[in-house]
Structures are given as C-alpha cells and as structure tokens.
C-alpha cells in the first residue's frame, strides 16, 4: 500500500470541502480523479501534500517521495528565470537534471547534453504551454518520486500538446513503475490511461475500475445531469 486515506474531512470555516473520504492507492496505480468544479479535487491534493488542515488520516510509507505538478503557475513572458535556473532550485546534480529533462523529451540523447541547448536557456515565460508543462514535470521528477500528483495535465496546453502530455504520463508509468494521481475532466482519456477512477464531489461517489465505476447513474449523481460516456479505443 502506497497511500491510505481514512475518513478525510477538510473544512474552510463552515464550508466542508471534503467529507469522509476513504481510499487506498496501491503502488503502480494510475488513479484519475474526476468531479465538477468545487468538488474538492485540488483540495485533496493539498491535503495529501500537508498544505491544509484536515481531520482523519493520511498514511504514507516512511520516507515516501512525492512529486507535484500544479494546475496553474502563471509566469510573465519577461520573467528572467530560465529553464535551467528553475530546475537548479532542486539543488540536484547536473546529471539528475539532465535525466529528468530526457524523461520528458527535452533532450533526446547524451550527445545533446549541452548547457547551450536553446530550451535550457529559454525563459520560462517564452515556452509554449506544452514546453512549460514539461519543465514542471521535469522539476517534479528530479527527486525520483514514488508518486506523482498531477493537477489537470492539459491545463494551459493547446490541443496539439494534449496527447504528448498524456503520453509522458503513460511512459513514466510503464518505464519507471511510477504511481500517478491525476485530476482530469476528460472522461474518455480515463479508459486509456487510468487503472482506477475516483469520482469526487465533496464525498466519494465512486472508486474503482473505470469500466465498472463510470456508469451513467454514477455520473448523473456526480454531475447532477446526464453525461455521455464513450469508451476510448485501445491502442
């Protein structure tokens, strides 16, 4: 067991954002978290990271390493920090930084390991949405985390970059055996990438295999209206 959540409650004043949530995540799981806006999805991540007060239990193994990729991180175009300078904040070796960059596709081979690489020296604000997402993923991967929390993988990414971001996640899971928790609004993509799905609307509406959990009745309860579900074809 990599993560066990028991009877989790999160309140902001009188507003209960998460109510009695319990779930277990096994090593190697890819868990998609879905629900309407305001359902508590990002708050759940903040609780798992210890950034908000909560009641109940969140049980991690000793010395677990957690990587986190936020949904939004606004960077002005003229912000002076380069990709390399941003990654240097992890105080990791150059070798670890380059390994992370290779994992996300910034550098394709040993022969390209040059500090003059245009993407390394590019300002963060000059990157495309997909490139910026890769930089954030690389930052999260430098510490070789046991689990990656990914809030809205395609937020701020144009349509052409969405498949690339999900392909990265699939590669990380298959190559590194990494456990991934991702928040998404794309129901179809869940069938292709997720081993489990958590339906969350302040309380747990469903949790289990996507093909079993994502019923029309469950989605109507989750979103308050009928939602069409079309299973994504396998590749």
Q: How far apart are CA 62 and CA 53, in angstroms?
A: 20
In a domain, 75, yes or no: no
**What's the confidence (pLDDT) of residue 149?**
95
In a domain, 51, yes or no: yes
In a domain, 85, yes or no: no
- The confidence band for 224, taking pLDDT boundaries of 50, 70 and 90, is confident
Domain count for the chain: 1
- The CATH number given to whatever domain includes residue 44 is 3.40.50.300
DSSP 123: B
In a domain, 176, yes or no: no
Q: How far apart are CA 42 and CA 70, in angstroms?
A: 9
- The confidence band for 80, taking pLDDT boundaries of 50, 70 and 90, is confident
Rounded to the nearest 5°, which phi and psi values hold at 211?
A: -65, -25
Q: Are 70 and 122 in contact (CB under 8 A)?
A: no
Provide the CB-side half-sphere exposure for 166 (13 A, CA): 20
Q: By CB neighbour count within 10 A (0-12 exposed, 13-18 middle, 19+ buried), where does 57 fall?
A: exposed
In a domain, 39, yes or no: yes
Task: State which residues form the domain around 217.
Answer: 1-64+181-235
- Tell me, yes or no, if the pTM score tops 0.75: yes
In a domain, 167, yes or no: no
In a domain, 115, yes or no: no
- SS3 percent helix, strand, coil of the chain, rounded to 5, is 35, 25, 40
pLDDT, one tens digit per residue, over 214-223 is 998 998 889 8
- Of 13-22, 53-62, 65-74, 194-203, the poorest mean pLDDT is in 65-74
In a domain, 198, yes or no: yes
């Amino acid at each position: 067991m990599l993560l066990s959540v028991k009877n989790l409650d999160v309140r902001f004043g009188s507003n209960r954002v998460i109510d009695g949530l319990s779930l277990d995540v096994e090593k190697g799981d890819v868990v998609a978290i879905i629900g309407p806006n305001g359902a508590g999805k990002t708050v759940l991540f903040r609780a798992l990271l210890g950034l908000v007060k909560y009641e109940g239990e969140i049980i991690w193994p000793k010395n677990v390493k957690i990587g986190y990729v936020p949904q939004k991180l606004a960077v002005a175009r003229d912000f002076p920090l380069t990709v390399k300078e941003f990654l240097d904040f992890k105080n990791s070796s150059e070798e670890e930084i380059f390994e992370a960059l290779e994992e996300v596709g910034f550098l394709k081979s040993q022969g390209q390991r040059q500090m003059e690489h245009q993407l390394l020296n590019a300002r963060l604000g000059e990157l495309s949405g997909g490139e910026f997402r890769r930089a954030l993923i690389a930052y999260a991967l430098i510490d070789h985390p046991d689990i990656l929390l990914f809030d809205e993988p395609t937020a701020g990414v144009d349509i052409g970059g969405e498949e690339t971001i999900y392909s990265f996640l699939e590669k990380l899971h298959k190559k590194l055996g990494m456990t991934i928790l991702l928040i998404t609004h794309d129901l179809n993509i869940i069938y292709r990438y997720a081993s489990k799905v958590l339906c969350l609307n302040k309380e747990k509406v469903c949790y289990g295999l996507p093909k079993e959990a994502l019923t029309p009745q469950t989605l109507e309860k989750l979103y308050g209206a009928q939602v069409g579900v079309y299973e994504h074809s396998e590749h």
